[in-house]
Amino acid sequence: MQRLPRNLDANNSCDREPSLEEVLDRVVRQIDSPARVIELCYWSRERNLLDIMRAIVAMPETAREALEAFLSMAGEPAQIVAALDPTGRLTLTSPQVAQALDLLREDRNAMAPEIVHRTH
């Protein structure tokens, strides 16, 4: 997301922050639908959501990609179970992710004999 530039004051210095009206005007013009603006407003009021989003953005790319892949495979977020162990390891489980991984394993196992046969 673009950072909003500061406005110039009467002396053409960049010390003045944009007014709330100016910021809202810029945000509304950049977003394609009023429903999206309302959704962003709702999200901003969710307790700790911005902190969670900032933490995800700051994660190493491989960790973020793994989390994104897990969440995209978990078709029903309400079924995700999280457990934190004493060593600091977070485990996320989802029936949909387990099913998807099982299908991948089955496909890989079904292809393995064919691959072995071709290489010998």
Give the model confidence (pLDDT) of 82-91 as tens digits.
999 999 999 9
> In 3-state terms, what secondary structure has residue 18?
coil
Give the model confidence (pLDDT) of 20-57 as tens digits.
899 888 888 888 888 888 888 888 888 899 899 899 99
Same domain? For 74 and 112 the reply is yes
Write out the H or E segment, with its range, that includes residue 26.
helix 20-30
The count of domains in the chain is 2
Same domain? For 104 and 68 the reply is yes
Residue 52 domain-assigned (yes or no): no
Same domain? For 70 and 35 the reply is no
Domain with 106, as residue range(s), is 62-119
Same domain? For 66 and 113 the reply is yes
Same domain? For 4 and 34 the reply is yes
